[in-house]
Amino acid sequence: MRYHVLTLFPEMVLAGLHTSIIGRAADRGIISLNAVNIRDYADNDYGKIDDYPYGGGAGMVMQAEPVYRAYEAVADSLEKEPRVLHMTPQGRVFSQEMAQELALEEDLIFLCGHYEGIDERVLEEIVTDHVSIGDYVLTGGELPAMVMIDAISRMVPGVLNNKESAQFDSFQNGLLEYPQYSRPQEWHGRRVPEILLSGHHANVDAWRAQQSYLRTKERRPDLLKQDNHKNIM
Protein backbone atom coordinates (compact mmCIF):
# COMPACT_ATOMS: atom_id res chain seq x y z
CA MET A 1 0.00 0.00 0.00
CA ARG A 2 1.31 3.42 -0.98
CA TYR A 3 -0.15 6.56 0.60
CA HIS A 4 0.26 10.00 -0.96
CA VAL A 5 -0.90 13.01 1.08
CA LEU A 6 -1.37 16.37 -0.65
CA THR A 7 -0.98 18.89 2.14
CA LEU A 8 0.28 22.29 3.26
CA PHE A 9 1.94 20.66 6.28
CA PRO A 10 3.92 17.60 5.18
CA GLU A 11 6.03 17.60 8.34
CA MET A 12 2.89 17.21 10.45
CA VAL A 13 1.76 14.17 8.47
CA LEU A 14 5.12 12.42 8.41
CA ALA A 15 5.88 13.10 12.08
CA GLY A 16 2.50 11.72 13.12
CA LEU A 17 2.65 8.57 11.01
CA HIS A 18 6.29 7.54 11.40
CA THR A 19 5.65 6.17 14.89
CA SER A 20 4.38 2.98 16.52
CA ILE A 21 2.88 0.22 14.34
CA ILE A 22 2.41 2.39 11.24
CA GLY A 23 5.96 3.71 11.42
CA ARG A 24 7.37 0.20 11.77
CA ALA A 25 5.30 -0.98 8.81
CA ALA A 26 6.77 1.87 6.75
CA ASP A 27 10.29 1.00 7.87
CA ARG A 28 9.71 -2.60 6.78
CA GLY A 29 8.40 -1.50 3.38
CA ILE A 30 4.89 -2.92 3.86
CA ILE A 31 3.43 0.55 3.37
CA SER A 32 4.96 3.77 2.05
CA LEU A 33 4.16 7.33 3.12
CA ASN A 34 4.61 10.23 0.72
CA ALA A 35 3.68 13.76 1.81
CA VAL A 36 3.51 16.27 -1.06
CA ASN A 37 3.69 19.96 -0.22
CA ILE A 38 1.08 21.78 -2.32
CA ARG A 39 3.00 25.04 -1.88
CA ASP A 40 5.80 23.58 -4.01
CA TYR A 41 3.40 23.84 -6.96
CA ALA A 42 2.42 27.47 -6.53
CA ASP A 43 2.87 29.74 -9.57
CA ASN A 44 4.75 32.37 -7.55
CA ASP A 45 8.04 32.58 -5.66
CA TYR A 46 6.57 32.82 -2.17
CA GLY A 47 4.34 29.75 -2.07
CA LYS A 48 0.97 31.51 -2.01
CA ILE A 49 -1.74 29.03 -2.97
CA ASP A 50 -4.92 30.78 -1.74
CA ASP A 51 -7.03 33.74 -2.82
CA TYR A 52 -10.28 35.55 -1.99
CA PRO A 53 -13.52 33.69 -2.83
CA TYR A 54 -15.63 34.89 -5.73
CA GLY A 55 -18.91 36.26 -4.44
CA GLY A 56 -17.35 37.50 -1.21
CA GLY A 57 -17.38 35.93 2.20
CA ALA A 58 -15.01 35.26 5.06
CA GLY A 59 -11.65 33.56 4.67
CA MET A 60 -9.62 32.40 1.72
CA VAL A 61 -9.93 29.53 -0.76
CA MET A 62 -7.18 27.19 -1.95
CA GLN A 63 -6.68 27.71 -5.67
CA ALA A 64 -7.27 24.95 -8.19
CA GLU A 65 -3.99 25.02 -10.14
CA PRO A 66 -1.49 24.30 -7.33
CA VAL A 67 -3.68 21.47 -6.09
CA TYR A 68 -3.97 20.03 -9.58
CA ARG A 69 -0.22 20.25 -10.19
CA ALA A 70 0.49 18.44 -6.91
CA TYR A 71 -2.01 15.75 -7.90
CA GLU A 72 -0.46 15.39 -11.35
CA ALA A 73 3.01 15.01 -9.86
CA VAL A 74 1.78 11.93 -8.01
CA ALA A 75 -0.72 10.50 -10.49
CA ASP A 76 1.68 10.69 -13.46
CA SER A 77 4.10 8.39 -11.62
CA LEU A 78 1.49 5.66 -11.04
CA GLU A 79 0.54 2.80 -13.33
CA LYS A 80 -3.21 3.37 -13.02
CA GLU A 81 -5.53 6.17 -12.02
CA PRO A 82 -5.69 6.26 -8.20
CA ARG A 83 -8.56 6.94 -5.85
CA VAL A 84 -8.36 10.48 -4.51
CA LEU A 85 -9.90 11.01 -1.08
CA HIS A 86 -10.90 14.57 -0.22
CA MET A 87 -11.01 15.13 3.55
CA THR A 88 -14.21 17.10 4.21
CA PRO A 89 -17.06 17.15 6.77
CA GLN A 90 -19.39 17.06 3.75
CA GLY A 91 -18.27 13.55 2.78
CA ARG A 92 -19.34 9.98 3.46
CA VAL A 93 -18.53 9.07 7.06
CA PHE A 94 -15.46 6.85 7.36
CA SER A 95 -16.05 3.40 8.82
CA GLN A 96 -14.35 0.07 9.40
CA GLU A 97 -16.09 -1.25 6.31
CA MET A 98 -14.59 1.57 4.23
CA ALA A 99 -11.15 0.91 5.76
CA GLN A 100 -11.35 -2.70 4.56
CA GLU A 101 -12.44 -1.57 1.12
CA LEU A 102 -9.65 0.99 0.75
CA ALA A 103 -7.02 -1.46 2.02
CA LEU A 104 -7.45 -3.36 -1.26
CA GLU A 105 -6.06 -0.44 -3.26
CA GLU A 106 -2.42 -0.16 -4.31
CA ASP A 107 -2.26 3.64 -4.07
CA LEU A 108 -4.39 6.20 -2.26
CA ILE A 109 -4.14 9.97 -2.57
CA PHE A 110 -5.43 12.06 0.35
CA LEU A 111 -6.27 15.70 -0.39
CA CYS A 112 -6.12 17.91 2.70
CA GLY A 113 -7.86 21.27 2.51
CA HIS A 114 -7.45 24.41 4.63
CA TYR A 115 -8.98 27.86 5.05
CA GLU A 116 -12.54 27.97 3.66
CA GLY A 117 -11.88 24.99 1.43
CA ILE A 118 -10.62 24.18 -2.07
CA ASP A 119 -11.78 25.58 -5.41
CA GLU A 120 -14.70 23.34 -6.43
CA ARG A 121 -13.43 22.94 -9.98
CA VAL A 122 -10.35 20.94 -9.05
CA LEU A 123 -12.43 18.78 -6.71
CA GLU A 124 -14.71 17.97 -9.65
CA GLU A 125 -11.65 17.20 -11.78
CA ILE A 126 -9.68 14.83 -9.54
CA VAL A 127 -11.61 13.64 -6.47
CA THR A 128 -13.16 10.17 -6.44
CA ASP A 129 -14.32 10.09 -2.79
CA HIS A 130 -15.34 12.82 -0.35
CA VAL A 131 -14.76 11.43 3.15
CA SER A 132 -15.49 12.69 6.67
CA ILE A 133 -14.33 11.27 10.02
CA GLY A 134 -17.28 12.81 11.86
CA ASP A 135 -19.81 15.60 12.05
CA TYR A 136 -17.48 18.35 13.22
CA VAL A 137 -15.06 20.80 11.60
CA LEU A 138 -11.26 20.75 11.97
CA THR A 139 -8.69 23.34 10.89
CA GLY A 140 -7.40 21.11 8.10
CA GLY A 141 -7.53 17.69 6.50
CA GLU A 142 -4.26 16.33 7.88
CA LEU A 143 -5.66 14.78 11.06
CA PRO A 144 -8.51 13.01 9.21
CA ALA A 145 -6.00 11.68 6.64
CA MET A 146 -3.76 10.36 9.42
CA VAL A 147 -6.70 8.73 11.18
CA MET A 148 -7.76 7.01 7.97
CA ILE A 149 -4.24 5.87 7.09
CA ASP A 150 -3.87 4.33 10.54
CA ALA A 151 -7.19 2.47 10.29
CA ILE A 152 -6.62 1.33 6.69
CA SER A 153 -3.09 0.13 7.40
CA ARG A 154 -4.33 -2.26 10.08
CA MET A 155 -6.16 -4.09 7.29
CA VAL A 156 -3.02 -4.41 5.13
CA PRO A 157 -1.43 -7.88 5.40
CA GLY A 158 1.77 -7.85 7.42
CA VAL A 159 1.20 -4.58 9.26
CA LEU A 160 -0.02 -6.28 12.44
CA ASN A 161 2.20 -9.00 13.89
CA ASN A 162 -0.74 -11.08 15.14
CA LYS A 163 -2.96 -12.07 12.21
CA GLU A 164 -5.97 -12.22 14.54
CA SER A 165 -5.51 -8.70 15.94
CA ALA A 166 -7.62 -6.93 13.33
CA GLN A 167 -10.15 -9.76 13.12
CA PHE A 168 -11.51 -9.06 16.59
CA ASP A 169 -11.29 -5.26 16.59
CA SER A 170 -14.35 -3.20 17.43
CA PHE A 171 -16.72 -2.83 14.44
CA GLN A 172 -15.10 -5.75 12.60
CA ASN A 173 -18.28 -7.83 13.04
CA GLY A 174 -20.61 -4.88 13.60
CA LEU A 175 -20.10 -4.96 17.38
CA LEU A 176 -17.72 -3.35 19.86
CA GLU A 177 -14.81 -5.43 21.11
CA TYR A 178 -15.23 -7.48 24.30
CA PRO A 179 -13.42 -6.45 27.55
CA GLN A 180 -9.74 -7.38 27.83
CA TYR A 181 -7.79 -8.42 30.95
CA SER A 182 -4.16 -9.15 31.87
CA ARG A 183 -2.14 -9.97 34.99
CA PRO A 184 -2.55 -9.81 37.95
CA GLN A 185 -5.73 -11.84 38.47
CA GLU A 186 -6.91 -9.33 41.08
CA TRP A 187 -6.35 -5.58 41.00
CA HIS A 188 -7.92 -3.04 43.41
CA GLY A 189 -10.36 -5.73 44.51
CA ARG A 190 -11.49 -6.45 40.94
CA ARG A 191 -10.96 -10.00 39.70
CA VAL A 192 -10.54 -11.29 36.17
CA PRO A 193 -13.74 -13.15 35.15
CA GLU A 194 -13.36 -16.83 36.04
CA ILE A 195 -14.36 -17.95 32.56
CA LEU A 196 -11.13 -16.46 31.17
CA LEU A 197 -9.08 -18.58 33.58
CA SER A 198 -10.89 -21.83 32.71
CA GLY A 199 -8.87 -22.76 29.61
CA HIS A 200 -12.14 -23.79 27.90
CA HIS A 201 -11.81 -22.02 24.54
CA ALA A 202 -15.38 -22.61 23.34
CA ASN A 203 -16.80 -21.15 26.54
CA VAL A 204 -14.40 -18.22 26.37
CA ASP A 205 -15.44 -17.49 22.78
CA ALA A 206 -19.13 -17.64 23.75
CA TRP A 207 -18.51 -15.29 26.71
CA ARG A 208 -16.63 -12.83 24.53
CA ALA A 209 -19.40 -12.82 21.92
CA GLN A 210 -21.96 -12.15 24.64
CA GLN A 211 -19.85 -9.37 26.16
CA SER A 212 -19.41 -7.75 22.74
CA TYR A 213 -23.17 -7.66 22.32
CA LEU A 214 -23.79 -6.30 25.83
CA ARG A 215 -21.10 -3.64 25.49
CA THR A 216 -22.51 -2.55 22.14
CA LYS A 217 -26.03 -2.42 23.57
CA GLU A 218 -24.80 -0.23 26.45
CA ARG A 219 -22.42 2.10 24.64
CA ARG A 220 -23.45 2.10 20.96
CA PRO A 221 -27.03 0.82 20.66
CA ASP A 222 -27.24 2.49 17.24
CA LEU A 223 -25.01 -0.30 15.89
CA LEU A 224 -27.68 -2.87 16.77
CA LYS A 225 -30.40 -1.29 14.63
CA GLN A 226 -29.71 -3.76 11.84
CA ASP A 227 -30.97 -6.42 14.27
CA ASN A 228 -28.41 -9.00 13.15
CA HIS A 229 -27.04 -10.00 16.55
CA LYS A 230 -29.99 -11.16 18.65
CA ASN A 231 -28.92 -14.79 18.43
CA ILE A 232 -25.88 -14.02 20.60
CA MET A 233 -28.02 -13.65 23.73
Q: Fill in the amino acid letter for 121.
A: R
Residue 154 annotated as catalytic: yes
Residue 40 annotated as catalytic: no
Any residues with CB less than 8 A from the CB of 142 and at least 6 apart, and which?
A: 5, 7, 9, 12, 13, 16, 87, 112
Residue 116 annotated as catalytic: yes
Q: Fill in the amino acid letter for 119.
A: D
117-122 long-range Cβ contacts below 8 angstroms, 24+ apart: 117/61, 117/62, 117/88, 118/61, 118/62, 118/64, 118/67, 118/86, 119/61, 119/62, 119/63, 119/64, 119/67, 121/64, 122/64, 122/65, 122/67, 122/68, 122/71
- 186 beta partners: 191
- Among 116, 129, 150, 177, which one carries the catalytic annotation? 116
Residue 179 annotated as catalytic: no
DSSP 8-state class, residue 58: S
- Among 69, 89, 101, 105, which one carries the catalytic annotation? 89
- Among 83, 169, 177, 179, which one carries the catalytic annotation? 169
Residues belonging to the active site: 89, 116, 154, 169
